[in-house]
Amino acid sequence: MKKSTKIWLAVAGVALIVLGVVCLCKPMETLFASAWLLGCIILISGLFTLIFTFRTQMFLPNSGTRMLSSLLQIFLGIFFLASTPAVAVSLPFVFAFWVMVEGVTLFIESFDFKKFGFGNWWCICLLGIVAAALGILGFVYPKVAGETLSVLIGIGILLSGVAYLVALFGVNKFERNVNEFRNQVKEAIHE
């Protein structure tokens, strides 16, 4: 791997770790940044879908549905960007709702696992109940849900940075092993 690529990998890893720590230290700012980033992603996705729709409308059916979807994405992205504080305030509720729905889904699916003879179906059932309860608590205490979401985002970013640095050390070790193997082969050939 080129030395410049390794440098960029190291810089990206350190930057992600720093960003993760900032997210952990500034939970409310993380929610606002997440809402803004979400708005950008949805807007860009909508624009690309609209361009794709125009370029493929002769070849692919249902281009009207795709166009409607892209226009809704564009509208939603603009809404998110225009009302970032409102979106940031609603993110804990969306997060809590998602956790609650996932919990209920796990609870229901656990009985399917039981029908098929899965011995640890009760673990899935229990985790589903806990997740649903945590989702409900997120509705009751949205500030806690927002801080939890910010902490999860921060931990995710921080772990990504650590993964970059671990990957860099792994690449370095792999290159050393390859070089040692080459040297051993050269020595064996010259003997």
- The DSSP string of 71-133 is HHHHHHHHHHHHTHHHHHHHHHHHHHHHHHHHHHHHHHHHHHHHHTT-TTHHHHHHHHHHHHH
pTM (2 decimals)? 0.62
Cα Rg of the chain, angstroms: 24
pLDDT tens string 50-67: 888 787 777 666 667 778
Average pLDDT of span 148-174: 84
Our separate counts of H helices and E strands in the chain read 6, 0
Mean pLDDT of the chain: 84
